[in-house]
Amino acid sequence: MNHSENQTNSEKTGLSGQKVAKQIRPRSRVESPLDLDHWQSRVFKARVTRSGQTHETSGYYVRIQSRGHRENFALHTTDREAAAVNARKIYLSILANGWTQTVAEHKTNLIESADDPTLGEYIELVRATCTLGAITLENYARKLRTITAAIKGMKRLGPDANKYDCRGQRGGRKAWVTAVNRIPIRCLTDEAVLRWRTNYLRSRAGDAIKTERARHTVDSMIRNCKCLFASKLVKKLGVAIKLPDPVPFRSIEPITKGLITFRYFSEIDPLKLLDDAEQELKADHPEQFMIVLLALGAGLRRKEIDGLRWSSVLKETNKIRIVNHEFFSAKSRYSQADVSVEPELIEELLALRTPDAGEYVIASRNKPRWVSTYQYYRANEHFAGACTWLRGKGIKKGNPLHTLRKEYGRLIVEGYGIYAASRALRHSNVQVTAAHYADDTRWIVPGIFKRQPINVTPMPQQTVKPTDVRAG
């Protein structure tokens, strides 16, 4: 069609040349994610609320969904066209490399330099320089990664990087740890940590018990992270690494003041519990019975029971020796000691020892081994059975075995005082005993009604001294 024909058609239809041109323009094709126009219409500026006021960010963001997973990415530019270029680059990286590598490369906005260390670099330097125990360091590092990942929105990084996929064939947790380790420490500002703490508590509001537990949980996690950035530890690192100023976590104050809320309150009748254990466990589940005996009658921790050898059961002196060996390391240097027990407890243990018993008091089909990154229990199946039995007896705490240790401490406190209890429990100082174990079931009244200045009245449930607690 030439120009004259086009003009004739325009005159016939009464349309301008511009409208005719628009009318004959071919239909536009469907937008492809490979086109910049596609991303220009999808980048956006986020809206954030601070101090009750809503603000719009200066830089652009994009939300990308692919392969059943969705993430938001900061594009680090205030120009829409440049943001579209960055968004397309991220999308192409997802198609080529998958979610895990893309998130690690683009979402954390890494700047790797000596003055901008990452979590992984700092943890490895602490591991190589300081004398923290391997399990202690791994526990601190786990709490640090959890908080950091929550701050950066990296709880899950796609199907191949999931912190909860510990045993999955994809190695999800390993990929998640690798990605989180690449986050720079500078993101752990006081404002970010406090925002995480507030969000954590809000998500568990509405239930008084859950809220109280959440308060202690966040304090415990922050306390562990503080230990990882403690001034004494940082000094050992020298000038090998430069931390941001202020140092992360140091100025964060705990919500719960003191440790008094952790104090143990007894709800156990130890004599009845031992009678029930003898009747219900001794014949059919001797290992579980011995576990209860050692926790309640000697105050041993789970790890100490698991690693206890027959050579450490000293019949001549009625003691149980807690000592390190190749597959056991005590909680601290104060934990290595001889624990005095009643003769009847030693007799019960030896009576349950079979001719084919191995070197460990609690027999198990699992072999002992040294694990440096988590607590490994050789006799875990027996501990699980004992805990189930104790819960059936009304001990509803998260760790019923440790409740028996606290009951042991309560009996020593009432019989001989808190200092004797601190020594028997092998604590580093008496403050720990006072905060966690010093329950006293006796009622103490001032005696103002012409009685003795101090009048001690037992509670309705039977109160006994440690020497009264014996098996059988």
Judged by phi (left if over 0) then psi (alpha if -120 to 50, else beta), residue 98 lies in: left
Q: What is the structure's pLDDT at 221?
A: 93
1 part of a folded domain: no
Give ∠ CA 96-97-100 in degrees, rounded to 5. Answer: 145
Claim to verify: residue 235 and residue 367 sit in the same structural domain: no
**Do the bridges between strand 443-445 and strand 53-56 make them parallel or antiparallel, or are there none, so unpaired?**
unpaired
Residue 337's pLDDT band, with cuts at 50, 70 and 90, is very high
The residue assigned the tokens 């006293």 is 440
144 part of a folded domain: yes
Q: What is the structure's pLDDT at 125?
A: 87
Q: Which domain holds residue 335?
A: 271-468
**84-138 tens-digit pLDDT:** 888 888 888 888 888 877 877 776 544 444 457 889 889 988 888 877 788 888 9
**68-87 tens-digit pLDDT:** 788 888 887 878 888 888 88
Claim to verify: residue 218 and residue 275 sit in the same structural domain: no
Cβ(346)–Cβ(318) under 8 Å? yes
Claim to verify: residue 162 and residue 278 sit in the same structural domain: no
What is the average pLDDT value for the chain, to the nearest integer?
80
Claim to verify: residue 220 and residue 325 sit in the same structural domain: no
Claim to verify: residue 63 and residue 131 sit in the same structural domain: no
Element (H, E) at 444: strand 443-445
345 part of a folded domain: yes
Claim to verify: residue 138 and residue 72 sit in the same structural domain: no
Q: Which of 224, 253, 282 is the last residue of a domain?
A: 253
Claim to verify: residue 157 and residue 239 sit in the same structural domain: yes
Residue 439's pLDDT band, with cuts at 50, 70 and 90, is low
Cβ(151)–Cβ(196) under 8 Å? yes
133 part of a folded domain: yes
17 part of a folded domain: no
**133-178 tens-digit pLDDT:** 888 889 999 999 999 998 887 765 554 555 555 555 455 677 788 8
* Residue 349 pLDDT greater than 60, yes or no: yes
Q: Which of 221, 253, 285 is the last residue of a domain?
A: 253
Residue 454's pLDDT band, with cuts at 50, 70 and 90, is very low
Crossing angle (nearest 10°) for helices 190-202 and 134-152: 80
Claim to verify: residue 203 and residue 343 sit in the same structural domain: no
Cβ(278)–Cβ(289) under 8 Å? yes
Residue 50's pLDDT band, with cuts at 50, 70 and 90, is low
Claim to verify: residue 141 and residue 93 sit in the same structural domain: no
55 part of a folded domain: yes
User: Both tokens of residue 145?
Assistant: 């990664």
Q: What is the structure's pLDDT at 112?
A: 41
Determine if the peptide bond prior to 246 is cis (ω within 30°): yes
Chain centre to alpha carbon of residue 4:
80
The number of distinct structural domains making up the chain is: 3
Claim to verify: residue 455 and residue 308 sit in the same structural domain: yes
User: How far is 289 from 292, CA to CA, in rounded Å?
Assistant: 5
Claim to verify: residue 276 and residue 384 sit in the same structural domain: yes
Claim to verify: residue 238 and residue 142 sit in the same structural domain: yes
30 part of a folded domain: no
**Do the bridges between strand 319-322 and strand 337-340 make them parallel or antiparallel, or are there none, so unpaired?**
antiparallel
The b-or-e profile of 343-381 (16+ CB within 10 A means b, else e) is eebbebbeebeeeeeeebbbbbeeebeeeeeeebbbbee
**272-301 tens-digit pLDDT:** 999 999 999 999 999 999 999 999 999 999
* Residue 466 pLDDT greater than 80, yes or no: no
Give ∠ CA 304-307-311 in degrees, rounded to 5. Answer: 105
Closest CA to 152 of 175, 121, 185, 117: 185
CATH assignment of the domain containing 421: 1.10.443.10
**234-259 tens-digit pLDDT:** 888 776 678 888 899 998 988 886 54
The count of C-alpha atoms lying within 13 angstroms of the C-alpha of 272, restricted to the half-sphere facing its C-beta, is 9
109 part of a folded domain: no
Least confident of 17-26, 43-52, 184-193: 17-26
Report the Cα–Cα distance between both ends of the chain, in Å, rounded.
Answer: 111
Cβ(224)–Cβ(249) under 8 Å? no
Q: What pTM, to 2 d.p., does this model score?
A: 0.63
What mean pLDDT do residues 205-214 have? 84
